[in-house]
Homo-oligomer: A and B are copies of this chain.
Amino acid sequence: MITTELRTDPITGRMVAIDIGPFKRRDDFELEPVRLEDPPAQCPLCEGREADAGNEILAWREGGPANVPGWSVRVVPNRHPMLRIEGQMHVRGEGLLESRDGLGAHEVIVETPIHDQPLHTLDVDRLWRVLWAWRTRIQDLKRDSRFASVVIFKNHGRAAGARLDHAHSHLAAFPLITPALADKLRGAARHLTKSGKCIFCDLIAQELHDGRRIIRDQDALLAIAPYASRAPFETWIVPRDHAPRFEDATDATLLALAAAIKEVMARIDWALERPACNVVLHTGPLNGEGDRAFHWHVEIIPRVTRVSGLEWGCGVHRNPVSPEEAASVLRC
């Protein structure tokens, strides 16, 4: 019989409902395997149509001028940005209601010049260049003191919110700490006050000792199925040693991360038949506020269940696969 456990996320304190029982393979999932839909001839992100994607902010090129073919990774402004570099910092208030300009940066990292090449099918050196672009852009944007936090996220497949098939990720720099980061920092600060230690460091030690949720343990990085996974096969990749900010990661760490993303996503593809996924990079506030309490980490979230009234109404995710089962399937 399947029973449900209400688990508490050790970082944020959020509740998740997890079904405990044998892994129910696929029947329960609303699978929408990732397929190509855009005709390559109209794709604005393909090599040869650089003008359609916009002026490049950064590119990995073996010499040559900007905005022409010959790149392997390219960063351009988002054509429908949520956040713009022009705007006012101040909050406009009217009684109980407050708003501010969508000030910030919203960029697109084009991960490959080739139309049909998902991120995790790139070889490790090519994948490394994508992570190099992530790091370089954060290093650059943090010099603008108006920005408080940066998130990089990726929508792989329509069911994960992608609007273009061509592999790309989004960078968003916000004028304040995002709600998701604020939730994590609050929990991390609470733990730091109580124990004097980083909650990620403590959690990693406990997970390594337990072992049931470890997916991969190589180099300086650990891949785990988080105890309060919100989605089936959710995976976090996190540095073993204390490391609050992604922009300070070394080339060697980026190479290890490239290998970990590639391997974990290949396992997820195999287990769930090429599911749509979101990939999110969480890194500490740009001003160094979380430096003692926080680890940067990458979350990989397969999108094989629908968000329902339960999530909207209760703020609770129901996950039909326990992280212990998921780890046993994904373990490399």
State the A residues within 8 Å of B (CB). 2-8, 10, 14-15, 17, 30, 80-84, 95-102, 151-155, 158-162, 170, 172, 174-176, 178-183, 199, 202-203, 206, 227, 278-282, 299, 301, 306-310, 312-316, 318
Q: Are A101 and B280 in contact (CB under 8 A)?
A: no
Q: Are B308 and A278 in contact (CB under 8 A)?
A: yes
Chain B residues whose CB sits within 8 angstroms of the CB of A180 once the complex forms = 312-316
A14 to B178, CA, bound (A): 9
A39 to B326, CA, bound (A): 33
Chain B residues whose CB sits within 8 angstroms of the CB of A301 once the complex forms = 312
Q: Which of A96, A181, A312, A316 counts the most chain B CB atoms within 10 A?
A: A312
Q: A4-B81, A4-B82, A314-B172 are in contact. Are A14 and B309 (CB under 8 A)?
A: no
Q: Are A309 and B161 in contact (CB under 8 A)?
A: yes
Which B residue's beta carbon lies closest to that of A4? B102
How many chain copies? 2
Chain B residues whose CB sits within 8 angstroms of the CB of A4 once the complex forms = 81-84, 102
Name the distance in Å between A307's Cβ and chain B's nearest Cβ.
5
Q: A3-B102, A102-B17 are in contact. Are A151 and B278 (CB under 8 A)?
A: no
Kindly identify which residue among B81, B176, B203, B280 contacts A313, using a CB–CB cutoff of 8 Å.
Answer: B280
Kindly identify which residue among B14, B101, B178 contacts A316, using a CB–CB cutoff of 8 Å.
Answer: B178
Chain B residues whose CB sits within 8 angstroms of the CB of A6 once the complex forms = 99-102, 175-176
Q: Are A278 and B84 in contact (CB under 8 A)?
A: no
For the complex of A and B, 6 pairs with smallest distance between CB atoms: A161-B308, A153-B309, A4-B102, A180-B315, A179-B315, A280-B313
A–B pairs, 8, beta carbons within 8 Å: A6-B102, A8-B99, A10-B96, A96-B199, A96-B203, A152-B313, A161-B307, A278-B308
Q: A5-B102, A97-B206 are in contact. Are A314 and B278 (CB under 8 A)?
A: no
